[in-house]
Chains A and B, each alone.
Chain A
């Protein structure tokens, strides 16, 4: 009896320690994976899918860290960075670059764009302190809509991207001839029937390491403490507004790099309204990873993206197996994804 009590207390302490959302999602993931084995889904395929998706989405999730740390909350406007990344990628294709060159060009090209737009966006956030998350959401939406016009009127000439007749770029086009899988195929190897996209994972972990290093730098520390208690930082001579701008420039750039990495892995570039809702899964992932609206670490990103994408990718084939009629699985996917997002958003812990 006493032992059981002790066990109970330990269990509660354990859940408290890792956080309830993280615990719930881990539990869900385990349940789904076990079910997958029982209904006879090849686990190797699920793992391959999971690992690839972690690499694909990871950097966009990583973009949440600087903005949360600076006190502007999860970057719902990461779509700004995504749009800029798409602009850089299309420019690379327009210049008829292919393979690694195209990929590197896009990544470099996104930097100046992100700096300029990030500064403007940071200034906007500083002008409306206290309502950052709302402002971010609508700024993100607006930019995507604005670029819907942009994709039509920008003077691109590449036949890969243009509609065969009329003006403007296609909504979706393949990267087959340009930079599809340049990271995924780098040093790729198999463990059993699980495929490991080494380049993709290395790139993701490199980005994590760089962001982690930044949080350990003088400026990163100042931004972080400014986010936790801005009066304290002001009294220590920190320029809070500047820190918030820098953090959002970095976040925007990570969004841009994130979509380039995503696209090369996906094999297609999707324009127009495709980026509209991309911020939400990223925000949800970091929150599930253990972050709050005011605290985030790189470890939250890694844990969060694995749990979120893990549940999403593994639940699909399982549902297909259990409910094999038409679009039920697709509808379930929407329910699951949005359910997780909603659940994560309730864990934001309000404000600042």
Chain B
């Protein structure tokens, strides 16, 4: 029975420092099969692949439990070289190509065809002559297999991303004896027609007997091309299905599916008949890795608007764009005033505060005290916490300390004193300092991105409760961007799901898991004949 499968991973369990990220996961793939591995960010897909390729990050953190069978035999994969020798290949999401080398050289990188010469006989095999002609022929063959009629000798630099993706694939299939090919979100960077092309080639490769493990979050691709599906959620195997026996709605549900606790959440009246306090019109943000490709969104005074979606699809670009931290186009209408090309200082002056998703790089100055981190924006923008001596100003140490101490009390920041460097605080407490800085600025709208990233559960609850309190008690309008759908559903009034740089739809927190899953996976709800309970009619 074992021989039926090319790869079997059995009972894979992996934990990092006591934090279990994979629990008894099984994965089995037959030759010639396209097998989809699905799950949200953080479901354990990457860890499972790291285990398969014997990556150092696994072995340096205590290894894993479970067994891997390849080609019917139990294997110990200690490094990616072991994996390569077995015939396992990977097409990376980020291209691993050398720009100044030709396509052929890239395809044959580290596997150059060589022959002996006088020098190499004397000084060893590292000095053998490279046989370019043979390499070119091999490269041609591999390129033909992926339908690339491009010259194999031009250099990779300057080629469109679509081409690079195919060169990566050509490199993998050029390897002799390749039996299993892993595609890690290969279509993320491709245009639609390129993606279609890629799927067609995957099918063709599978028909030659190569097993393909396809990692993606695009549901339509899954249903279009795959034979079987494995769904992971929070490090656990939740389902193994035949693609023909399931629907994209069911898969979506399986990916998201967890009990959402909507605790202490009384429906509040947000007046959406008034003019929105902030409106985005065809708003585009050129943020690398989180590009926003034209969204329309309305934010009403006093509401918490959640922005959700998978990583890398543009949700983080929205807040960064509004703050003018990356180049934008399109319009922002703030309290009726039209703004194009927002400038950070002016947006801050218009009483918008920003808590960045990148706490350490953008949100804080690690080597400065809690005091300085807390008051700096207010000092710089509002000219507060300064003593005025007519010709010059100095920091008002007393006021700064008072403010920092007040924040430490109110937000329960665990520290030795307000003079402590923020670098020595825990993640959760650092996050609170970020929020303290935003609050000290005295804003009317606060944009919070990934407020609970990398902090422990207790701190998460405090941060979320704090945001809710700000909204309820001080009527602060909040845009909260988060990868944690669960959190968004527990505090937001409406949730906009951003996918592929656009708003896929706006949902209510109590809408079904399937709706959320479908939108996140890039399907619109209309296609499924379901309007997703969008009561305020603001789907765009």
Q: Which residues of A contact B392 (CB under 8 A)?
A: 213, 217
Of the listed stretches B94-102, B184-192, B361-369, chain A binds B361-369
User: Is the beta-carbon distance between B376 and A221 smaller than 8 angstroms?
Assistant: yes
Q: Chain B, 318-354, contact with A by CB distance < 8 Å: what is the 0/1 string? A: 0000010100000000000000000011111100001
User: Is the beta-carbon distance between A236 and B377 smaller than 8 angstroms?
Assistant: yes
Of the listed stretches A95-103, A122-130, A158-166, A223-231, chain B binds A223-231
Q: How far is the CA of A232 from the CA of B372 in the complex (A)?
A: 12
User: Is the beta-carbon distance between A232 and B362 smaller than 8 angstroms?
Assistant: yes
User: Is the beta-carbon distance between A221 and B323 smaller than 8 angstroms?
Assistant: no
A255: min CB distance to chain B, Å: 22
Which residues of B209-250 have CB atoms within 8 Å of chain A's CB atoms?
none
User: Is the beta-carbon distance between B365 and A228 smaller than 8 angstroms?
Assistant: yes
B440: min CB distance to chain A, Å: 11
Known A221-B372, A236-B381, A238-B380; judge A231-B393 contact (CB<8 A).
no
Q: How far is the CA of A11 from the CA of B461 in the complex (A)?
A: 43
A298: min CB distance to chain B, Å: 14
- Residue A2, interface by CB 8 Å: no
Q: How far is the CA of A234 from the CA of B345 in the complex (A)?
A: 8
Q: Which residues of A contact B133 (CB under 8 A)?
A: none
User: Is the beta-carbon distance between A218 and B362 smaller than 8 angstroms?
Assistant: no
Q: Which residues of B contact A218 (CB under 8 A)?
A: 379-380, 383, 386, 393, 395
Q: How far is the CA of A235 from the CA of B322 in the complex (A)?
A: 11
- Residue B356, interface by CB 8 Å: yes
Q: Which residues of A contact B323 (CB under 8 A)?
A: 235
Q: Which of the residues A225, A235, A237, A238 comes within 8 Å of B368, measured between beta carbons?
A: A225
Q: Which of the residues A213, A222, A231, A295 comes within 8 Å of B380, measured between beta carbons?
A: A222
Q: Which residues of A contact B356 (CB under 8 A)?
A: 235
Q: Which residues of B contact A295 (CB under 8 A)?
A: 367
Q: Which residues of B contact A346 (CB under 8 A)?
A: none
- Residue B122, interface by CB 8 Å: no
Q: Which residue of B lies closest to A237 (CB)?
A: B345
User: Is the beta-carbon distance between A217 and B394 smaller than 8 angstroms?
Assistant: yes
Q: Chain A, 137-156, contact with B by CB distance < 8 Å: what is the 0/1 string? A: 00000000000000000000
Q: How far is the CA of A64 from the CA of B27 in the complex (A)?
A: 61
Q: How far is the CA of A293 from the CA of B401 in the complex (A)?
A: 28
Q: How far is the CA of A341 from the CA of B444 in the complex (A)?
A: 53
- Residue A216, interface by CB 8 Å: yes
Q: Which residue of A lies closest to B360 (CB)?
A: A229
Q: Which of the residues A216, A225, A228, A237 comes within 8 Å of B344, measured between beta carbons?
A: A237
Q: How far is the CA of A124 from the CA of B153 in the complex (A)?
A: 41
Q: Indicate the size class of the contact surface on chain A.
A: 10 to 19
User: Is the beta-carbon distance between A229 and B380 smaller than 8 angstroms?
Assistant: no
B141: min CB distance to chain A, Å: 44
Q: Which residues of A contact B393 (CB under 8 A)?
A: 217-218
Which residues of A225-259 have CB atoms within 8 Å of chain B's CB atoms?
225, 228-229, 231-232, 234-239
Q: Which residue of A lies closest to B367 (CB)?
A: A228
User: Is the beta-carbon distance between A237 and B362 smaller than 8 angstroms?
Assistant: no
B389: min CB distance to chain A, Å: 9
Q: Which of the residues B354, B358, B368, B394 comes within 8 Å of A216, measured between beta carbons?
A: B394
Q: Which residues of B contact A236 (CB under 8 A)?
A: 344, 348, 376-377, 380-381
User: Is the beta-carbon distance between A225 and B376 smaller than 8 angstroms?
Assistant: yes
Count CB-based A-B contacts (< 8 Å).
71
Q: Which residues of B contact A228 (CB under 8 A)?
A: 365-368
Q: Which of the residues B345, B361, B372 comes within 8 Å of A231, measured between beta carbons?
A: B361
Q: How far is the CA of A239 from the CA of B364 in the complex (A)?
A: 17
A155: min CB distance to chain B, Å: 38
Q: Which residues of A contact B380 (CB under 8 A)?
A: 218, 221-222, 236-238
Q: Which residues of B contact A229 (CB under 8 A)?
A: 361-362, 364-366
Which residues of B389-442 have CB atoms within 8 Å of chain A's CB atoms?
392-395
Q: Which residues of B contact A238 (CB under 8 A)?
A: 345, 380
Which residues of B122-137 have CB atoms within 8 Å of chain A's CB atoms?
none
Q: Which residues of A contact B372 (CB under 8 A)?
A: 221, 225
Q: Which residue of B lies closest to A224 (CB)?
A: B368
Which residues of B157-180 have CB atoms within 8 Å of chain A's CB atoms?
none
A239: min CB distance to chain B, Å: 8
Q: How far is the CA of A222 from the CA of B348 in the complex (A)?
A: 15
User: Is the beta-carbon distance between B366 and A235 smaller than 8 angstroms?
Assistant: no
Q: Which residues of A contact B376 (CB under 8 A)?
A: 221-222, 225, 236
User: Is the beta-carbon distance between B365 and A225 smaller than 8 angstroms?
Assistant: yes
Q: Which residues of B contact A225 (CB under 8 A)?
A: 365, 368, 372, 376
Q: How far is the CA of A2 from the CA of B367 in the complex (A)?
A: 35
Q: Which of the residues A213, A216, A231 comes within 8 Å of B362, measured between beta carbons?
A: A231
A19: min CB distance to chain B, Å: 15
Q: How far is the CA of A235 from the CA of B380 in the complex (A)?
A: 11
Q: Which residues of B contact A237 (CB under 8 A)?
A: 344-349, 377, 380-381
Q: Which residues of A contact B383 (CB under 8 A)?
A: 218
Q: How far is the CA of A173 from the CA of B407 in the complex (A)?
A: 61
Q: How far is the CA of A37 from the CA of B379 in the complex (A)?
A: 53
Q: Which of the residues B346, B349, B364, B395 comes within 8 Å of A232, measured between beta carbons?
A: B364
Q: Which residue of A lies closest to B441 (CB)?
A: A236
Q: Which of the residues B354, B386, B395 comes within 8 Å of A235, measured between beta carbons?
A: B354
A223: min CB distance to chain B, Å: 11
Q: How far is the CA of A101 from the CA of B168 in the complex (A)?
A: 75
Q: Which residues of A contact B386 (CB under 8 A)?
A: 217-218
Known A217-B393, A218-B380, A218-B393; judge A234-B325 contact (CB<8 A).
yes
B520: min CB distance to chain A, Å: 28
Residue of B356, B372, B392 contacting most chain A CB atoms (<10 Å): B392
A336: min CB distance to chain B, Å: 33
Residue of A218, A229, A239 contacting most chain B CB atoms (<10 Å): A218
User: Is the beta-carbon distance between B395 and A216 smaller than 8 angstroms?
Assistant: yes
Q: How far is the CA of A58 from the CA of B270 in the complex (A)?
A: 63
Q: How far is the CA of A91 from the CA of B393 in the complex (A)?
A: 34
Q: How far is the CA of A222 from the CA of B376 in the complex (A)?
A: 8
Residue of B346, B365, B381, B394 contacting most chain A CB atoms (<10 Å): B365
Q: How far is the CA of A252 from the CA of B66 in the complex (A)?
A: 65
Q: Which residues of A contact B366 (CB under 8 A)?
A: 228-229
Q: How far is the CA of A225 from the CA of B363 in the complex (A)?
A: 12
Q: Which residue of A lies closest to B378 (CB)?
A: A236
Q: Which of the residues B344, B358, B379 comes within 8 Å of A234, measured between beta carbons?
A: B344
User: Is the beta-carbon distance between B325 and A221 smaller than 8 angstroms?
Assistant: no
Q: How far is the CA of A231 from the CA of B363 in the complex (A)?
A: 8
Q: Which residue of A lies closest to B343 (CB)?
A: A237
Q: How far is the CA of A239 from the CA of B392 in the complex (A)?
A: 19
Known A221-B376, A225-B372, A228-B368; judge A213-B394 contact (CB<8 A).
yes
Q: How far is the CA of A225 from the CA of B362 in the complex (A)?
A: 12
Q: How far is the CA of A44 from the CA of B153 in the complex (A)?
A: 78
Q: Which residue of B lies closest to A215 (CB)?
A: B395
User: Is the beta-carbon distance between A232 and B365 smaller than 8 angstroms?
Assistant: yes
B327: min CB distance to chain A, Å: 13
Q: Which residue of B lies closest to A235 (CB)?
A: B362
B479: min CB distance to chain A, Å: 16
B322: min CB distance to chain A, Å: 12
Q: How far is the CA of A234 from the CA of B381 in the complex (A)?
A: 12
B540: min CB distance to chain A, Å: 28
Which residues of A15-41 have CB atoms within 8 Å of chain B's CB atoms?
none
Q: How far is the CA of A295 from the CA of B368 in the complex (A)?
A: 11
List 10 contacting pairs A-B, 8 Å CB cutoff, sorted by A: A213-B392, A217-B394, A218-B380, A218-B383, A225-B365, A228-B368, A229-B365, A235-B325, A236-B348, A237-B346
Q: Which residue numbers of A lie inside 8 Å of B, CB to CB?
A: 213, 216-218, 221-222, 225, 228-229, 231-232, 234-239, 295
- Given A228-B365, A231-B362, A238-B345, 9 other A-B residues pairs in contact with their CB atoms under 8 A: A216-B394, A218-B379, A221-B380, A225-B368, A229-B362, A232-B365, A236-B381, A237-B345, A237-B347
Q: Which residue numbers of B lie inside 8 Å of A, CB to CB?
A: 323, 325, 344-349, 354, 356, 358, 361-368, 372, 376-377, 379-381, 383, 386, 392-395
Q: What are the 9 closest A-B residue pairs judged by CB atoms, nearest first?
A: A237-B345, A236-B377, A231-B362, A229-B365, A237-B348, A237-B344, A216-B394, A228-B365, A216-B395
